[in-house]
Homo-oligomer: A and B are copies of this chain.
Amino acid sequence: MQNLSPSSVWFTLFESVYTSGSVTPSGLRNRLCTTLRQAINSGALTPGQRLPSSRTLAADLQLSRITVEAAYAQIEAEGYLQRHTGKGTFVSLSLLPPAAPRKKLSVKANFSTLSARGRKIVDTGGCHDPGSPTAFAAGSPDLRAFPLKVWKQLTNQQLRIQGERLLGYGDPQGYLPLREALAGYLQQSRGVFCRAEHIMITTSSQQALQLLAMLLIDPADPVWVEQPGYPGARNAFTSAGANICPIAVDEQGLNPVSGLPVPRFIYLTPSHHYPTGVSLSLSRRLSLLDYAKRHGSWIIEDDYDSELHYDGRPLPAMQGLDKHQQVIYLGTFSKVLFPSLRLAYAVLPESLVGPMVTLRTVNDGHSSQLMQAVTAEFMQSGHFTSHLRFSRQLYHSRRDHLLEQIKQKIGWLTPQVAAGGLQLAAYLPTGQEQHLSALAAQAGVATPRLSPLFLQTKDFSAAQPLDGWLLGFSALASTEITAAVDRLASMKVRSTS
C-alpha cells in the first residue's frame, strides 16, 4: 500500500474489517471507517500522511471501490481526512495539536483524582449486600420460596392492561396505587399514621438513607447511631460529612448517656435492633421522642424487617407515637419480596415531602413503573399478606431449628434469641472471632463477623466491640442449617475455657 508503512499495527487494524458477523456493504463500510479512525487516533496514521487511493485500497482489502469511497467520504465529513483532487487523500492537518510540536504523550498525566468527599466515601469501604444464599450469609430472604409464578402472571397482566403507560417517565414520589396500598398496609399492620401523599417510593432503604443524609446533614453535623449498628446507614451519613456518634445499645435498645452533642437526627432500628435483634422499649421510645422534640432533632426509624416477627406481635412503629412529625419511617420490600425488585419506601413528615421529591429528581428520577405496578397489584390482590404469613412461619421454624442445633452441638457459641428478622447474633469467647471465622471459612461456612458492626470510637461511652457472628437463617432449609452447624461443630477449636 503506497505511502503507508506496512507495519503489523496497520494490518492488525485492518483485520477487524473481516472479523465477526455480517458482511453487508454498509457493515463493511462502517468497519473500515472505524479502522481508519482508530489508526488516526492511535497515531498509526499521522496528520499529513497520504492514504492509498480508493482503487488501491479496495484491491488490497478485496472490497468494492464504492465501499472504500463511501468510507473515505464519511470520515472526511467527520474531519479526519482532507481530499485534494489530483493529489490524493491525506490525514487532516487540523488534527495536529495547535501550535505545539507533536511529542510522545505521557500516559500517566497528573490528574486530580477524587474530591475530599469522594475519598471519604471510598474509605468507608462501601456496603456489602449478602453474598449467595449459603450458610450463614445474613440478610437475604429465601428466594426459592417466592411465588414467582404469581409474580409472572401479574407482570403479564399489568403489561396487558396498562401497556406503554408503564414504560414512560414516572412520578418521582412513586406510583400512586402502590403508595395507596402501602398506606393501608402500614396503618393496619404497623400502626403508622400516613396517607399516600406522605409516602415516597425509593429503590432501597439505602437510597432513602442517602437522600436523607444529603437533605438534612451539613458537614460535621452530629448524628446518633446505634453501637453496634448498621454499616449502610453509617456509610450514607459519612458520605454527607456527618459526625457519627455511636451510642451503646442495651437490652432495652439505644441508651444515650448525658452530655452527647445534640444530633441532627437519631438513626434507630426499633423493632429488631440491627444486629442484636433487641426491641427498643416503649419507655425508651417515648423518652427519645421527647428528647428529639425538645432539641429539634429528627428520628429515622428503619423498620427494615419488622414484618418478620416470630415471638408475639411486634411493637407498633415509633412513628405512630410521634405527635410532632419528627419521625421519618423507612421500610423495604427487599426482605419480604425480593432484593432485586429495588423497591423500598419512606413515610415522611409533611415538610420533607416536597424537598425529598425534588432531591429524587436531581438524584435519579424515579423508580420503575412496571415493578411498582406489579407490587401494588401483588398487595391489593392479597398475595402480599399470604406470602408474609408463609415467610413468617418458614423463617420462624428455621430460627428455632438453628437455635436448637447450636444448643445441641456447639458449646462455644452463645446465640441470642432474635424475636424476628433474617439473622441472629451469636457471641464467641472474647478474642476468638478472627480465629474461629477463619476456621469456619476453611470448613466452607460463611460466618459474618459482629465486630465490624461496632464503630471504633474513644469519644463516647459507646460499647466496645464484642466477638461474635451474625448468622443468617432465613434463606436456608433445615437440612442446610443442620449440615452447616455440623461443619462448625467439627472444627478443631482451641480450648476456650
Contact = CB atoms under 8 A, between A and B. Distances in A.
Given A37-B320, A105-B293, A118 B216 contact: yes
Contacts of A41: 320-321, 323
A283 interface: yes
Interface string A27-52: 00010011001100110000000000
A286 B298 CA distance: 51
24 contacts: A37-B191, A78-B282, A79-B283, A94-B283, A115-B216, A115-B217, A118-B215, A118-B216, A121-B214, A126-B357, A129-B170, A129-B365, A132-B168, A146-B164, A164-B338, A166-B340, A168-B338, A203-B365, A204-B364, A206-B362, A236-B362, A239-B359, A342-B366, A364-B364
Interface stretch (A61-69, A155-163, A422-430): A155-163
Interface residues of A, number: 120
Interface of A: 30, 33-34, 37-38, 41-42, 74, 77-80, 92, 94-95, 97-98, 105, 107, 109-118, 121-122, 124-130, 132-133, 140, 143-144, 146, 148, 152, 155-156, 159, 163-164, 166-170, 172, 187-189, 191, 202-204, 206-207, 210, 214-218, 221, 232, 235-236, 239-240, 264, 281-283, 286-287, 290, 293, 296-298, 312-313, 315-316, 320-321, 323-324, 326, 338-342, 351, 354-355, 357-359, 361-371
A216 B286 CA distance: 42
A485 B406 CA distance: 75
Given A236-B362, A361-B126, A281 B79 contact: yes
A340 B370 contact: yes
Please list the 7 inter-chain residue pairs (A to B) with the smallest Cβ-Cβ separation, ordered nearest first.
Answer: A79-B282, A129-B169, A167-B338, A207-B364, A143-B164, A126-B361, A126-B358
Given A77-B312, A293-B105, A323-B41, A366 B169 contact: no
Task: Determine which residue in A78, A216, A232 has the highest number of CB atoms from chain B within 10 A of its CB, and name it.
Answer: A78
A76 B333 CA distance: 30
A25 B324 CA distance: 33
A140 B164 contact: no
Task: Determine which residue in A129, A281, A321 has the highest number of CB atoms from chain B within 10 A of its CB, and name it.
Answer: A129
A98 B203 CA distance: 39
